[in-house]
Structure 1
Amino acid sequence: MLSAFLLLVCCCVVSTIAARTLGSDGHVSRAVSRAKCQCYVVSGLEPGYFQYYRFWDFRSVPFDPASLKNFNFYPRIKNGTATAAHASLSAENGPSKPILLKDTPFTKDWNIQNWHRKGNEIFPVTMVNSNQNVFITKSYSTDDSTHLVLRTTRNENYSSTAEIESGVRNIFHCSLRVRFRLLSKDESILAPPLGEGIHSQHIQTIPQNIQPASLVHRNARKNPPPDGACAGIFTFNSTVSESDIEILTSDPPNRVHYANQPDYDFVTDQVIDGASIIKDIPIPWTSWATHRLDWFPDASRWYVNNQLQAMNTYGVPDDPSRLIINLWSDGGVWSGNLTVGESVYMGIESIELAYNVSGPYPIYGKGLYSSGRLAVDHLKHTQPGQKEHEALRGIFPQTKITSDTGTAKSRVCKVGCQIDNVRHDGNPEVLWGFSH
């Protein structure tokens, strides 16, 4: 395994170079912005210094098999302008049918889950994940462009649920952003039929004696989604190494739960003090907004539209992880119990990710998005107590990587790019660039 990868830059050097590359309008000049990014920084309390970057755009997906065959979900910019949605999505016609995400190249990067969990005394309702619950469509009742949708539906004997997981499972620190909203109860969208084909042995038979969740006053929308579902966005290695964004539809529509797991001690039957934060955010989750999780060595930070909402230094995950987005209901105390026949929908416009990895780098998309750059351990072996930004300070412009055989290799980030405050979402812009 490669030794620690030390990347980037003293702040004073960055600011000097950035001043030479920014145009008069505050954006990077075109000539410089075409240079290939070698590392990425983010807004906020720490810049991040990430080596890899991906953006999956669901806002203008064509609804025909020929166009979808090689569709890579990357934002399309033509002549400096973001392209509009496909012509077949006009307001008059709309899409003819939703697209199952499993039938697109997205599955080269993310895995659509089909596992099930049988009901028990703690989680009374059987959960069955289905690829029929992960699809691309468009709302008829709004002016939204196309978007990815996750769905959960309460059937008589089980909940049909949705989950996607990143193919890369050794992400080690990242900045993850998901632009989404939970659709209102009566919003009209074209959705595929349920089709789990589950067998009778998967259906739970535990008697149902769940009490309805207590009513919570909600005033952000007239028709919020039904109570009884949970939407999650999180890093995951295990139940004791996880950083979460969670939304409960039984909550007021501006309330979000942030946590580093575990946040509950089952032995003492007590909430772990300091592990979780409940926050009322300025934008309700029934409206489009970008929810962001920054996972750094010393802290997890959560943002909405790049505005910091919460930070937690307790229980920060310290294991290589995968990313998970899900929508579910199991009748338990946490999610609550959806009424039979009701559904909750989570619309997603985009997923953005800046990240590092630990160990060999499994390339996203099997080459679809490959940068071809050297795989490294990201500060995996920094000294105890040594902060990431301290380890990076003062080593710009060149770092050394020593392999297991003792061979030294030079590594330099000649072109650093920002992913926030850019002209077009999903198109990083050069913050500094030079030849050396």
Structure 2
Amino acid sequence: MGPIRRILCLPTSLSSLVFFLVSATAPGIAAAGKDPALTDDSQCGCYLNKGNSSTYFTYHRFFDFRSLPQYAGVPAVIQDAESSPDADPTSDYFKRDEWSSFWLLGSWNNSNGARPDATVTMVNSPNNVYIEANTEPDPSSQTYLTLRTQRLSDFQTAAEIESASSGFKYLSLRMRARTVGAAGAITAVFTYRGSDMLADVQESDLEIRTADKRNLVHYTNQPAYTDDGDVVPEATRKATMPHGLDWTAWAIHRLDWTPGLTTWYVDDVEVARIAFQAPRDESNIILNAWSDGGRWTGNMTRFDAAYLQVQWLELLYNSTDPDETKRSRRRQQQDGDGCNAVCSIDETPELGTPVLLWKNGPSQVNGAGGRSVSTGSVPTWGVVVMVLFAMELLI
């Protein structure tokens, strides 16, 4: 009988001892019996996401739109297609460095014929991105971010925000959001790497078609069609939202882009995963609400509108940007290991604030919550010796 089968046949007491010896020396179990300690991003060497595609990420950002009454206000729709792209930001919130250093407000139009079946001129305007007061009964937030698209007499006014960086390479993006409004629009969040050649586009989409059933969401690794218009079925999934939800209800939508795979969740329930055509290279992040009268969006009735509304947006990510790379190297020089302290945003009791899962090395770290976390660990060879010793004694 080989050593593996011998372990499987150990008495219950010995199996428990072996498991204890291994697990007790794992860094993540060092603080057994204690809740992870609240900390801040400056204390985190990396972040481990929870889910079916767990991965380590280097950076964390949290954008909270839930309590911004000083910026709230719904701007009147600009009726002129020529002046709409040049509109000023709708409030000073979008001039803050926290926002402007990370996000750009879209102002482009579809006059380049990027979608040949479009029947309506579409114009993105900063005027369609704004902070709105939450007036629903028993609201779960004071305010939220709104992206608006509306069909006007002569054109479709639309909204888009895009990351200032195109250097994202793997991420876990979460947002508490909903889509409301008339049929004939798309609301979406996706990674994007463009190309003049359709086959070279890299894109992972979460898209809601307001003409669809309200529990249906589309998940795709683009391109989902060829230059000849043929559908690529391996690239896309249609999924229904879990727990009887529909996309007009607030829910946490999540996209995990990891090496060779994209995985989507709604309220922590996996709803789709696609390995085919998973993005490989650095990309942007985009959120939008739009329509162009084409086959995909449908044709919105004049003066109808649809909205993507977001209470908060949180990101774990890796980056190839030079500034981010320099910051990561400085952190490694300070810590001796860029992933010396492993944090989580999934295990935290406080949204947007990470907790410390473990810290490698013999020292201890106190989180913002004031709780001490033991961080000692036994080398792998030590674990092996202890396990083998136990087996020799008891077999």
TM-score normalised to structure 2 length: 0.73
1:64-103 → structure 2 map (5 Å cutoff): 99=91, 101-103=93-95
Deviations 1:164-222 (A, max 9, x none): 01112111111111210013xxxxxxxxxxxxxxxxxxxxxxxxxxxxxxxxxxxxxxx
Unaligned runs of 5+ in 2: 1-21, 73-89, 363-395
In the alignment, is residue 241 of structure 1 matched against residue 202 of structure 2? yes
User: Does the alignment pair 1:112 with 2:105?
Assistant: yes
1:278 to 229, 238, 258: 238
Say if 2:253 and 2:267, in contact at 8 Å, map to a contact too. Answer: yes
Pairwise CA distance, 1:330? 0.3
Relative distance call for 1:164 and 1:412 in structure 2 (3 A) is closer
Q: Name 1:81's counterpart in structure 2.
A: none
Aligned equivalents of 1:359, 1:13: Cα separation in 2 = 37
| 3-state DSSP of counterpart to 2:323 | coil
Q: Are the aligned partners of 2:144 and 2:310 in contact in 1 as well (CA < 8 Å)?
A: yes
**Structure-to-structure mapping, 1:20-99, within 5 angstroms:** 20-21=30-31, 23-24=33-34, 27-29=35-37, 36-63=43-70, 99=91
Aligned match of 1:152: 149
CA distance in 2, matches of 1:16, 1:262: 42
Deviation at 1:44, TM superposition (A): 1.0
1:318 equivalenced with 2:280 (yes/no)? yes
* Alpha-carbon contact 2:69-2:142 (below 8 Å) kept: no
Paired with 2:256 and 2:306, the residues of 1 have a C-alpha distance of 27
2:263 to 298, 301, 304: 301
The alpha-carbon distance between structure 1 residues 334 and 34, as it changes in their structure 2 partners (threshold 3 A), is closer
Work out the CA distance in 2 between the residues paired with 1:350 and 1:168.
20
Q: For 1:264 and 1:297, how far apart are their aligned partners in 2?
A: 23
Q: Distance in 2 between the 1:14 and 1:320 partners?
A: 39
Number of corresponding residues = 311
Percent identical pairs in the alignment equals 34
CA RMSD of aligned residues (A): 2.7
Per-residue deviation, 1:137: 1.2
Match among 13, 18, 34 for residue 28 of structure 2: 18
Q: Which residue of 2 is the match for residue 342 of structure 1?
A: 304
- Runs of 4 or more, structure 1, over 4 Å off, are 12-15, 32-35
Shift of 1:19: 2.0
Alpha-carbon offset, residue 140 of structure 1:
2.2
Distance 1:14 1:133 in 2: 54
Residue 373 of structure 1 aligns with an amino acid whose one-letter code is S
Per-residue deviation, residues 54-78 of structure 1 (Å, max 9, x unmatched): 111101114069xxxxxxxxxxxxx
The answer to whether the 8 A contact 1:101-1:107 is kept is no
- Which of 132, 137, 148 does residue 132 from structure 2 map onto? 137
Look at both structures and tell me which one has the larger radius of gyration over its CA atoms. Answer: 2
TM-score by length of 1: 0.66
In structure 1, distance between residues paired with 2:344 and 2:223: 33
Map 1:226-237 onto structure 2 (within 5 A). 226-237=182-193
Task: Name the SS of the counterpart of 2:70 in structure 1.
Answer: coil
Closer, same or farther: CA 355–13 of 1 in aligned 2, 3 Å: farther
CA–CA distance in structure 2, aligned partners of residues 180 and 29 of structure 1: 28
**Residues 160, 15 of structure 1: CA spacing in aligned structure 2 closer, same or farther, 3 A cutoff?**
farther
Code of the residue aligned with 1:111 in structure 2: it is L
Tell me the equivalent position of 2:11.
Answer: none
Where does 1:380-399 land on structure 2 (aligned, <5 Å)? Answer: none
In structure 1, stretches of 5+ residues that fail to align are 1-11, 66-97, 184-224, 364-370, 377-398, 402-408
Once the two structures are superposed, residues 260-297 of structure 1 have per-residue CA deviations (whole angstroms, 9 ceiling, x without a partner) of 01011131x22112110011112211011111111111
